[in-house]
Structure 1
Amino acid sequence: MTNYGDEATVRSILTGRGDTWAVVGLSTNTARAAYGVARFLQEHGKRIVPVHPKAETVLGEQGYASLADVPFGVDVVDVFVNSALAGEVADQAVAVGAKAVWFQLGVVDEDAYARTTAAGLEMVMDKCPAIEFPRLG
């Protein structure tokens, strides 16, 4: 597979573009990877926005059932859903005016990558910000 998210794109999203991260698939389940990554992002100065059908408050932040329900702009849409659903989330990210989309480890949809980048958004696929951020130094 091609490297979907080169060093420059990863750096741009983590250090330049993304202050508000909508974390799609984030719930109150502390055992899930989404919870740990969201906490990591908060600890590194990012505002997280939980997006989950239950619309739960997570890590002190109000949750929303969908990206369309978030009443303010988001910079990055961080996707913790399976690959079969990820393309729809990427399309929603484009529709709400996000600047970037980040598909987590194991989340791959090459068609969604093509659509999202063609729409002018930066995109990283099959990587984790909690791994990439420390690696950047």
Structure 2
Amino acid sequence: MIDILKLFYTTHYNLGALAILMLMLLIFFLSKKNFKGAIIVGILLIVYNVGIYKRTEGKSWTIEIDPPETTAVNDGYGNYSKPQPIKMTFSATPEKWSVTDEKGETHHWCWVDDMWDRFSNTDIVAWIWGENASKKMMKSTETRANNAGSGD
């Protein structure tokens, strides 16, 4: 468990910083003899680390990366062909925590990156107020931008 958490926290240092802050809060509560707060923070810290371990240990992720359009290959006769997508598989074992591709670049992927991709691709306005409100807001801002750009 320690090896997985060391690898995880060195890659996702913001989540490691959160664990360190909880540990410091635990020490603070213990120094003030606030045992209720110390027990609560201690339980939160254990649940946090066990949750990260359970979501990471023994799992693997496969992603497919499409090469950019600028990497089209010319065969000399004016025919351009797009390179094949790159598939990479990552797992949370110490020997395969990161993958180095043919260019020598090191890549990493895990559930945190997958969760961030899903969150960053979410239309928050549509999620909160519904799809129609999102479309109306986009239409009103586009109309306002077009009116401002026309000089009226």
Please state which band the TM-score falls in when normalised by the shorter chain: under 0.3
TM normalised by structure 1 equals 0.23
Q: TM-score, normalised by structure 2?
A: 0.21
Q: Report which of the two has the higher share of helix.
A: 2
Return the structure number with greater relative CO, CA threshold 8 A, min gap 6: 1
Please identify the structure whose Cα radius of gyration is greater: 2
